[in-house]
Amino acid sequence: MDTWSAAITLFLIMDPLGNLPVFMSVLKTIEPKRRRLVLARELVFSLIIMFTFLFSGQVVLDFLNVRQESVSIAGGIILFLIGIKMIFPQPGGVTGLTPGEEPFIVPLAIPMVAGPSVLAALILLANQDHSRMFDWSMALGAAWLASATILMLSSNLHKLLGERGLTAIERLMGMILIMISIQMLLDGIGKYYSLG
C-alpha cells in the first residue's frame, strides 16, 4: 500500500461526514465562541492518540493482554450507546453532559475520530512494514487534516440546516451509528471465535 492509498483509507474510516451530526449535537449546548476551541482541542487529542497507536498500539495491547477484537467490541458498545441517545434524546444530550458542559476526550476524540477501526488500521499498517513509519505518519497526518477541516466547518452547516434539519440528521445518523456499532460488535465477535 502506498502513502496516498493509506491516507484515503484512513480518511474513509474516520468518516468525518458521518461524524458531523454527532459533533454538532454534542457541541450545540456550548456557547459558539468556545465551540471551535473545544473542537480543536478534541481533534488534537485524537491525533495524539492515533499517533500513539501507530507507534506503540500493538505493544500496549500485548502488555495489557488485550486482543484487537476486544477494542472493536468495546468501540461498538460505546457507539451503540451514543446512537441510542441520538435517536431518543435526553436532557443531557448525546453525552449526558449538562448544558454548557464541555466534552473531554470521550466521545469526540475517542471513538468518533480515533475510533477502534482507525486504531486497528494503524496497528495493521505499522505491522505491515516497520521501515515505512514515516510514510504511515504522513498518511495519518493527511487523513486527519482532511477530517479536521470538514469538522471545523460544522458551525457553517449548523447555520445552513437550522435546528430542525440538524435534529432530523441527528436521528438518521443515530440509526446509522447503531448499524455500524452492531457490525463492529459482530466483526469483533466473529474474529474472536475464528481465531479461537
Buried b (16+ CB within 10 A) or exposed e, 153-187: ebbebbeebeeeebbebbeebbeebbebbeebbeb
In angstroms, the Cα distances linking 28 to 45, 64, 66, 100, 158 are: 20, 37, 36, 9, 9
Cell of 31: 456557547
Residues in the chain, how many?
Answer: 196
Using alpha carbons, list the distances in angstroms from residue 37 to 102, 114, 158, 159, 193.
Answer: 11, 18, 17, 18, 43
C-alpha distances in angstroms, 191 versus 50, 167, 186?
22, 36, 8
pTM score, two decimals? 0.71
**Mind listing the pLDDT tens digit of every residue in the chain (196 residues)?**
689 988 988 888 888 877 887 787 788 788 888 888 999 999 999 999 999 999 998 787 788 888 778 877 877 787 788 778 778 876 655 555 666 567 888 888 888 899 887 888 888 788 777 889 999 999 999 999 999 998 998 778 777 877 787 778 778 877 887 887 888 789 888 888 887 6
Measured CA to CA, the distance from residue 52 to residue 119 in angstroms comes to 9
Count CB-CB contacts under 10 A for residue 135. Answer: 17
Contact between 22 and 109 under an 8 Å Cβ cutoff? The reply is no
